[in-house]
A and B are shown apart, each in its own frame.
Chain A
Amino acid sequence: MLKNEVAVATHRLTKRYGSIDALADLDLEIAAGEIFGYLGPNGAGKTTTIRLLLGLARPTEGSATVFGMDCWSDAVEVHRRVSYVPGDVNLWPSLTGFETLSLLGNVQGRVDVDYRDDLIARFGLDVSKKVRAYSKGNRQKVVLIAALMSRPDLLVLDEPTAGLDPLMEQEFRRCVHEAKARGQTIFLSSHILSEVEALCDRVAILRDGRLVEVGTLSEMRHLSSVTVEVTVAGDVPDLSQVEGVTAVQVAGQRIHCQVQGSIDPLLRALSAVPVTSLLSREPSLEELFLALYGEDRGERRAS
């Protein structure tokens, strides 16, 4: 794999179902080796995007490429370098787990057999069982192992940990780190924000088929406010007029406020008073996510 290669690129990618814009004008670029988080509420268009990337659905407009190859017209070539974990797991009920894995490995055309057996052991999957008899979580393990065992250049994961217990989720995170260490690219759609926060280099947030935000977590944090708690000795200064500072609450010597953008103006305003402690906390992805959707909900209600 080339350094600085582009793993995934979409250009005005659009999918319409009747009059619904499931995905509208998506422009994304994901570099090889990146772990890219893809977030959005239910019905935002995450699965739609993934189906377009895999050539399971045809774009209404625009295009998508994976490693420079068109996702629709060069689908078979693309698929040699990609593995996919679907959001809805549908397998052949009469095959056993092992039969399923060996079928999917044969069809994929490349399998790291040692790694596969290692994964089976790590996920604790009983592969002699028929798929019909698996629980939801165990079915999820089958598709996860099937995707990881071929060590593809790009892993496309649609809510891969749905149904996994916390221990298995930890195991999954280890697998993702291993994949990254080997230079594989990962496209991860998820509802579990802590997972995305822990794993992803960059994150895109989608709503109603449109891209709302994309960037690294720290870039995104700049967009949101930081929570600051200051304790001063002496007079409490009036901070409500300071640039970027909102929601000022004073309790005795303690001041609690939100800072939007640069924290510099606040520090300058505080320079006149003796500060005994200053705590600032960046928002979690969850807070970011809720803030974004909180706003959107409000807007929608207003319109």
Chain B
Amino acid sequence: MTASAEVSAVPPFQLERSPGSLIFRVSAGKAVRSGLAWGAVYGIMVASAALSYVSIYPHQAQRDQLELLFGSNHAASALFGPGNQLQTVAGFTVYKVSMTLMILGAIWGILLSTRLLRGEEDAGRMELLVAGQTTRPRATAQVLVALGLAVSALWAVTALVTVVTGRSSSVVFRVGPSLFFAVALSASALMFLAVGAVTSQMAATRRQASTYGAIVLGVSYAIRMLADSGAGLDWLRWLSPLGWVEILQPFTDPQPLALLCIAGFTIGLSILAVHLTGLRDLGSSTFRDRSHARAKLGLLRRPLGLSARLLRPSIIGWIVAVVLSALLVGFVAKAAGQVIRGSSVEQILARLGATSSGANSYLGMAFLILAVLVAFVAANQVTAVRGEESGGRLDALIARPVSRVSWLGGRTALGASVVAAAGLLAGLFAWLGVLSQSGGVSLGPLMKAGVNIVPPGLCVLGLGIAVFGLFPRLTTKAVYGYVAWSLLIEIVGGIGAVNHVILDTSVFHHMAPAPAVSPNWTAGMVMAAIGCAGAGAGLFAFRSRDLKSE
């Protein structure tokens, strides 16, 4: 009796409560979970920075020394952002975590919004959700609200941990400023979520959308780098989203006015994203390319030619980014070098064997950034290799008389050539930049510095190919993760003490800061050899495994 009563209580169809907000609920679940997880990462970084500061530098004299060393060091501030009041826990904490979290947050923002807005669409799931439920601009707006919730979650966890940490008697952060600090830390994630939303509408695929987002991030970083390099270009900070975050100066000298820029930028881009959605078809880009084209068969004779043709736009994009950054670095070298002269950075470099001028010291630091770019070029080559397989297009080649070894070997060689070209061009264009300012650094050492940043790239490329051969589905995560990890170690290690075993895992740690010191060719050879070994292992593994799509 009871059983039948229960049965009749169930409606014949389980109706969706409000089909119109389905997309919001699906996206919000994913986005908020991700926001909470990253909030925990932010919180841990903040708490560990504050607590390690009070334990490593317990005395005021040590803290004053720190302020003297880094507070007005323009080379360091060009890389890691300006440092204010490093003699206080709050000032040091801001300095130590801001740049790292600003970049990580931006990358998180780009990846999350392109995944939810573009990845779902590429996979064809968006079509199912949108069909008959709602209009596409509304769907985009729903995802944007979900992304907003994700940043709120990120902010809430960060704020909570900061406030709790601040209650420690040795730290002492007040609640209001702590909340503002959390806002500053979340701001770059917020803005780049919006950037990702717009590029998701402009690009034809998620990969392309992420690349566009990364370019915006790179340009923002470079502009604020110029502003912070002490060349009298402070006003440039107002032209960069990352610059606005720096202007906020939580704890030390709060400037909430910059929040207006941040809010305006985010809201403007969000509106633009919703608007652009309405202008394009599902699965295509806003700037629709022509559907007909004249056949250009030049490169289509063999698989390697095809790869060259497919990768051409992205290779050109990366090379342009490297060349512009190198030019910029060379351009500010003289001014920045004058500031460094006699500072702690120069002393540290002198201990490593540097005998040269201030400009050389500055370039030694700045080539690290170029090395990171080149490593990203390498990572991008690896993910493109995996992309051919995961998209199922590789089947069409491997099912024909193309050997797996020659295909992957060719792609690896192509990647290595691009990495090498990027390094050499970095050296050449840094020299051109220096030359334009009569900076007094000659071509030879800068070309060597360019060659010097190639081995870390080759190492990343080879290790990436190894992962591709052995665990193809992890390729993208592993290779970008490793470059990001290396960068993080290098940034954190550059400021405070980090265990040397951990430092050793960073591919950039083994690279000598040329041209400030002469390149360590042995280390370079070892890195290149590791890359070769990785590529060999990858080739070997690829020969004997199934082709695996998504």
Task: Give the B-binding residues of A (Cβ under 8 A).
Answer: 51, 54-58, 75-77, 79-80, 82, 84, 86, 88, 90-96, 98-99, 102-104, 106-109, 127-130, 132-133, 143
Q: B399 touches which one: A56, A94, A130 (CB < 8 A)? A: A56
Q: Are B297 and A99 in contact (CB under 8 A)?
A: yes
| 0 or 1 for each of B301-345: is its CB under 8 Å from A? (1 = yes) | 111001000100000000000000000000000000000000000
Q: For residue B393, which residue of chain A has the nearest CB?
A: A90
With both chains docked as a complex, state the minimum distance between the C-beta of B287 and any C-beta of chain A, in angstroms: 13
Q: Which residues of A contact B300 (CB under 8 A)?
A: 95, 99, 102-103, 106
| 0 or 1 for each of B184-214: is its CB under 8 Å from A? (1 = yes) | 0000000000000000000010000000000
Q: Are B395 and A90 in contact (CB under 8 A)?
A: yes
- In the bound complex, how far is the Cα of B292 from the Cα of A99, in angstroms? 12
- In the bound complex, how far is the Cα of B393 from the Cα of A91, in angstroms? 5
With both chains docked as a complex, state the minimum distance between the C-beta of A144 and any C-beta of chain B, in angstroms: 13
- Taking the complex as formed, is B257 at the interface, i.e. its CB lies under 8 A from any CB of chain A? no
Q: Which 3 residue pairs are nearest across A and B when measured between Cβ atoms?
A: A90-B392, A133-B291, A57-B546
Chain B positions 536-550 with a Cβ under 8 Å from a chain A Cβ? 544-547, 549
- In the bound complex, how far is the Cα of B290 from the Cα of A282, in angstroms? 54
Q: Which residues of B contact A75 (CB under 8 A)?
A: 398, 403
- In the bound complex, how far is the Cα of B291 from the Cα of A294, in angstroms? 47
Q: For residue A108, which residue of chain B has the nearest CB?
A: B400
Question: Could you list some 23 contacts between A and B, CB below 8 A?
Answer: A51-B546, A54-B399, A57-B546, A57-B547, A58-B545, A75-B403, A76-B401, A82-B399, A86-B392, A86-B396, A86-B399, A88-B549, A90-B391, A91-B393, A95-B300, A96-B295, A99-B297, A104-B396, A107-B302, A107-B303, A109-B401, A128-B292, A132-B284
Task: Give the A-binding residues of B (Cβ under 8 A).
Answer: 204, 284, 289-297, 300-303, 306, 310, 391-393, 395-403, 544-547, 549
Q: Are B392 and A128 in contact (CB under 8 A)?
A: no
Q: Which residues of A contact B301 (CB under 8 A)?
A: 106
Other than A54-B399, A128-B294, give 14 A-B pairs with Cβ distance below 8 A: A79-B400, A86-B392, A88-B549, A92-B306, A98-B295, A99-B300, A104-B400, A107-B303, A107-B400, A107-B402, A129-B292, A130-B290, A130-B292, A130-B293
- In the bound complex, how far is the Cα of B213 from the Cα of A272, in angstroms? 89
Q: Are A79 and B399 in contact (CB under 8 A)?
A: yes
With both chains docked as a complex, state the minimum distance between the C-beta of B314 and any C-beta of chain A, in angstroms: 12
Q: Which residues of B contact A98 (CB under 8 A)?
A: 295
Q: Which residues of A contact B401 (CB under 8 A)?
A: 76-77, 79-80, 107-109
Q: For residue A109, which residue of chain B has the nearest CB?
A: B401
Given contacts A56-B399, A79-B401, A108-B401, contact A102 B393 (CB under 8 A): no
- In the bound complex, how far is the Cα of B293 from the Cα of A96, in angstroms? 7
Q: Which residues of B contact A51 (CB under 8 A)?
A: 546-547
Q: B392 touches which one: A76, A82, A88, A96 (CB < 8 A)? A: A88
Q: Which residues of A contact B296 (CB under 8 A)?
A: 99
Interface centre among B292, B310, B396, B546 (most CB of A within 10 A): B396
Given contacts A56-B395, A57-B547, A107-B402, contact A102 B291 (CB under 8 A): no
Q: Which residues of B contact A77 (CB under 8 A)?
A: 401
- In the bound complex, how far is the Cα of B400 from the Cα of A82, in angstroms? 8
Q: For residue A85, which residue of chain B has the nearest CB?
A: B399
- In the bound complex, how far is the Cα of B289 from the Cα of A18, in angstroms? 43
- In the bound complex, how far is the Cα of B544 from the Cα of A95, in angstroms? 30
Given contacts A56-B398, A56-B399, A133-B291, contact A106 B391 (CB under 8 A): no
Q: Are A90 and B396 in contact (CB under 8 A)?
A: yes
With both chains docked as a complex, state the minimum distance between the C-beta of B107 and any C-beta of chain A, in angstroms: 26
Q: Which residues of B contact A102 (CB under 8 A)?
A: 295, 297, 300
Q: Which residues of A contact B284 (CB under 8 A)?
A: 132
Q: Which residues of A contact B391 (CB under 8 A)?
A: 90
Q: B546 touches which one: A58, A86, A129 (CB < 8 A)? A: A58
Interface centre among B297, B399, B547 (most CB of A within 10 A): B399
